[in-house]
Amino acid sequence: MKPLDQSTIRKMSVLDVQVLKMAAFVAGLIAAKVWPPILSLKLYWYVIIFILSLAYLFYVIFLKKHKTDF
């Protein structure tokens, strides 16, 4: 399986990205249904994971210097 590269991502439309997000959300729901103890974590664990995820995305989108292939 080849890794995703810039050209693969550029082929995706906005609808494709939304469908990908929905698939990831449903996969999380399935994981919670199959393994219920994951829902028994304290709220702060979910908040920590959420904040770390947002911090990473903020870094990649706004601060990271991207190489341009143009």
What pLDDT shows up at residue 70? 46
Within a domain: 4:
no
Within a domain: 2:
no
Within a domain: 55:
yes
Return d(Cα 1, Cα 27) in angstroms, integer: 21
Return d(Cα 34, Cα 28) in angstroms, integer: 10
Quick: pLDDT tens for 9-19: 677 788 888 99
Task: Please state the domain count of the chain.
Answer: 1
% pLDDT > 70, the chain: 80
Higher per-residue confidence, 5 vs 31:
31
Return d(Cα 66, Cα 70) in angstroms, integer: 12
Higher per-residue confidence, 63 vs 53:
53
Domain range spanning residue 29?
A: 13-63
Within a domain: 3:
no
